[in-house]
Amino acid sequence: MKLLMIHAWNENETSYRGRFSGLLSYPSMTLAVLYSLVPKGMFERVDTVDENSQRVDYDSVHYDLVMISFETSSAFSGYKHCDAFRARGSYVVVGGYHPTAMRDEAAEHADTVIAGPAENSVPQFFSDFAAGCPKPFYRDYNVCMSDHPIPAREITTKKHTLGIPAVIADRGCFNNCSYCSMRTMWKSDPRPVDGVIEELRGLKSKLIIFYDPNFFGKREYALRLMSAMKPLKKLWACNATADFGYDHELMAAAYESGCRGVLIGLESLSSSSLGDARKNFRQADKYKEIIDNIHSHGMAVNGCFVLGFDSDTEEELLELPERIDRLGLDLCRFSVLTPYPGTRLYRDLDESGRITTKQWDRYNQHNAVFSPTNMTAARLDEIYRDVWKRAFRWKRIFHRMRVSPWRHNAYIFILLGANLGFKFLGIDKKYRRK
């Protein structure tokens, strides 16, 4: 039997595939984890396609089984592949975020839908498939994280990525932001520290990215993990929440264990909008102090902002580039508020009739797919493009280089590269031209 595994990608998102896309993209963990779950000896041939950099070929090989994972913005590409392979007689399985959130829709294109995490469901599916009795639906959130497989990174392509390996220690987050899609997909405890350390030891790269949605969310666990990481002398970056910038013990431990940068979803400079988002930390007026604190511990801050909350006004959004200058961020990025299926935000907007399109390829954080309160959707898109363009003017990039804690060492070139990446590639060019 022959198996093909695909991580589908939104065909319209060309900006991350260009010559400089490696400045922005990290390797996909999806295929590496799925591959590690394939039973040894079950298939005579196993192929993988990461559509971010590779093309799907329907005809060269006949695959008995095709497994396709996709997020919401890639759903149309994923369904296109499903239909093409089913027409050629393959058994098609779908999984990933969108099939988890939209099970019935996904089932129209696939023989089996796997919802939620793969660790238990995928091996169970393989066992049933081998026995000739695969079920139409699998879902098992009770994953024992000590059984988390070491991802088969050797099969992933580094083409069009930064080439820095990604690791996940804890997929959970206690917070409950209204737009967050993480809780739809993951409900698990952190991995045992020993297992994470073993995985890190096996990585040749000195630089590591943690994909955890909220690395410091479970404080005691994070402290234990960072203490165990110190002897490895890796340099790493992760996602954090704003309150990290008030915890000096945590910040010191992070720096000592090799953390040199954090990405924080600051989301808005308006406390009312942070309330709309149901962020735990809603004091936008404290952001400058928080960023200064993190800088004083030697770490850079990439601040992410979301445009389109109900309390957002045109005036406030248009002021963002100037106000971000005063915060002293090292890097910033923007997205349009996107109500992903499965989130509370999606349910609320859908119930009140404010979702304007379910054309999933527009759910890529570059387009308003709902009616905002204080402006039209078209005006929100316009403001988003304007803010992005002005935030990456040369003078602002150089200002960020000047205030960064990395300004005295070679990491500044990584920061410059990321700023340039966002300047030239951050928005799909198609939308930028409008």
Binding site for ligand SF4 (CB under 6 A): 173, 175-177, 180, 182, 213-214, 241, 265
CA distances (Å), 423 to each of 384, 401, 404, 415, 427, in order? 14, 14, 18, 12, 8
Could you tell me how far CA 177 lies from the centroid of its own chain?
A: 15
In three-state secondary structure terms, 329 is coil
Beta carbon nearer to ligand SF4, 36 or 175: 175
Beta carbon nearer to ligand SF4, 279 or 400: 279
DSSP annotation of 299 reads -
Which ranges of 257-372 would DSSP assign to H, the alpha helix? 271-276, 287-296, 314-318, 320-327, 344-351
Min. distance of Cβ 214 from ligand SF4 in angstroms?
5
Min. distance of Cβ 331 from ligand SF4 in angstroms?
18
Min. distance of Cβ 180 from ligand SF4 in angstroms?
3
Residue 348 contacts by C-beta under 8 Å, 6 or more apart in sequence? 178
Min. distance of Cβ 277 from ligand SF4 in angstroms?
8
Rounded CA separation 240/355 (Å)? 30
Beta carbon nearer to ligand SF4, 224 or 278: 278
In three-state secondary structure terms, 4 is strand
Min. distance of Cβ 84 from ligand SF4 in angstroms?
34
Residue appearing with tokens 């409950």? 176
Beta carbon nearer to ligand SF4, 143 or 173: 173
Rounded CA separation 247/258 (Å)? 17
Beta carbon nearer to ligand SF4, 218 or 385: 218
Min. distance of Cβ 187 from ligand SF4 in angstroms?
12
Residue 407 contacts by C-beta under 8 Å, 6 or more apart in sequence? 401
Beta carbon nearer to ligand SF4, 281 or 411: 281
Rounded CA separation 15/430 (Å)? 9
Beta carbon nearer to ligand SF4, 239 or 367: 239
Rounded CA separation 333/393 (Å)? 13
> Structure tokens of 26?
């990290």
Min. distance of Cβ 183 from ligand SF4 in angstroms?
7
